[in-house]
A and B are shown apart, each in its own frame.
Chain A
Amino acid sequence: MDLIEPTREAIARLVALDAPLWQVIWTSIRVALLALLVAAPLAIGAGFVLATTRFPGRRVLIVLLQSLLAFPTVVVGLLLYLLLSRRGPLGAWELLFTPEAMVIGQAVIAFPIICAFALAAVQAADPRLFETARLLGARPLRAGLTTLREVRFALVAAVLSGFGRVISEVGCALMVGGNIAGLTRTIPTAIALETSKGAFTEGIALGIVLMIVALGINALLSLCQGHGGWMQGMRG
């Protein structure tokens, strides 16, 4: 099967700002970023609380959280479908087969990943950091933010893992988005569609586009990451 020709064509369409192709790419990026915007603050906050506080049931919660990492995205999609369907409890929201439904689904998918990584990051941070900040008169919230700032390399890595999971996710997007052309078609669902039509080469070309997009977003986000390790000197 010839791969070079369709790939070249896909890249030519990218460069020529082919409207349907960019619509698909833009839907993918927009939905994934909005999902991260919803999920990341909550997940990082929850990870911080789990890492720094002690309460009954905490271990169980952590085990549950970590097993959620393996939760199949189609199950998230199915549960969300049942919730959002007209006949479901949230049917009145009229969200099934919309980008918003995909944002919700991807936020749910991203949450445990970011939360588990954030938990690990905060746990690995030097606890004296928080205490010192408190001693210097910072309120708990301010001291917490200081801690998060210090581990931001790991936190951005957490967000990037979440991004990687949702941008490449097909099960939930297909189910609650419906793969509607121009509205809820993302790169992975478009690949699934092309494959179902037997158009494998077009699917591969889209896959390459997805990798380029992921590379771009990762590069952009890693600028927020800083160099990492610049704290080492201070930890002494």
Chain B
Amino acid sequence: MNEMTARLRRRPGRRPVRPTDAPCDGTRGRGSADAARRHSMVGMAVLLVGLAMGGLSSPGVAQSGTPRAADRVIRLATTTSTENSGLLAALLPVFEKQHGYGVRVVSVGTGAALRIGVNGDADLVLVHARAAEDRFVAEGHGVDRRDVMYNDFLIVGPRSDPAQVRGARDAAASLRAIAARGARFVSRGDESGTHQMELALWKSAGVSPKGAGYASAGRGMGEVLTMASELQGYTLTDRGTWAAMKSRLDLEVLVEGDPALANPYGIIAVNPARHPHVNAAGARALMDWLTSAEGQRRIAAFKVGGETLFFPQAKAR
């Protein structure tokens, strides 16, 4: 970190800033009180300019300068579940310390994360929507997809359970029951991995989700869980976000354990052949570490409220 800052500070082209262009004036002949006020005004303006300019050389901005391919900065686009659950906050500092990289995380839905990868605005993506991931690789946007971990999706809903799906094992049949009952269902509606899983389940249920009961929120998992709780509706959630938030929600797990609800996470490097500027070495280092024995052990050891949220799944390499 310090090394990086120092190196970036040596970057050419940063001119020293002298706060001489502060508004000061040379009009003559006013009272001394006036002069004193003018003095303090100028002083204040110099202070403000100095404050803002000082910001330019502070580490936060300095390291953001121009991340070149050879940089020690890795840009990871990932889903909200890995970030909001606290998993990345538990894993990344260890990796950064061991390998001397800084990892910048942009957490959005899987669809948006993949699009960031398509545009070359990240070095690698950690997402969970297998079909979309395979398409991402097949279209040449990404290379070297690896399994990292998995958990599962759950159908959660109000304790009153108007569609009476509690304890069911068949997720698609449960959705069919919810639709048939016209019960409230809150959908992510944002092309996230969870949304894509939901659409796949509706498809295998043979129902197209429409009608007054179906609310497409277009928001993150946390917001949708909150909405479902407020509206006393059903929703599909990943186990990680659910575990992190359940104490604040008036909902409960109604359907779990269907093999169709498996939620595998994959990590994919953005194709350096298509985007030569990406930090391919950094992306590889992070992928190697996450799928290494140590990375996998740390994923398994990550718990929220005593509950394991992600299960390691990488194949030994």
Contacts and interface: CB of A to CB of B under 8 A. Distances in A.
Q: Is the interface of B mostly helix, strand, loop or mixed?
A: helix
Contact of B225 (A33, A37, A198): A198
Interface in A12-50: 23, 26-27, 29-30, 33-34, 36-37
Contacts of B120: 86-87, 91
A8 interface: no
B82 to A, nearest CB: 13
A93 to B, nearest CB: 8
Given A86-B120, A94-B67, A196-B84, A178 B245 contact: no
B41 A226 contact: yes
A96 B77 CA distance: 13
Interface stretch (A68-76, A97-105, A204-212): A97-105
B264 to A, nearest CB: 24
Contacts of B70: none
Contact of B37 (A88, A99, A220, A226): A226
Contact of B25 (A86, A149, A195): A149
A53 B60 CA distance: 42
A88 B121 CA distance: 10
Q: Size band of the A side of the interface?
A: 35 or more
A220 to B, nearest CB: 7
B80 A30 contact: no
Interface residues of B, number: 46
B25 A30 contact: no
A135 interface: no
A228 interface: no
Contacts of B45: 224
Contacts of A182: 60
B58 interface: yes
Given A26-B60, A94-B277, A179 B44 contact: no
Contacts of A195: 223
A196 B222 contact: yes
A180 B56 contact: no
5 contacts: A26-B55, A30-B52, A88-B119, A97-B104, A197-B244
Contacts of A226: 37, 41
A197 B51 CA distance: 33
Contacts of A224: 41, 44-45, 48
A198 B105 contact: no
A174 B137 CA distance: 28
Contacts of A36: 52
Given A183-B104, A196-B223, A198-B248, A34 B44 contact: no
Contacts of A181: 89, 105
Contacts of B244: 197
Contacts of A98: 64
Contacts of B275: 86
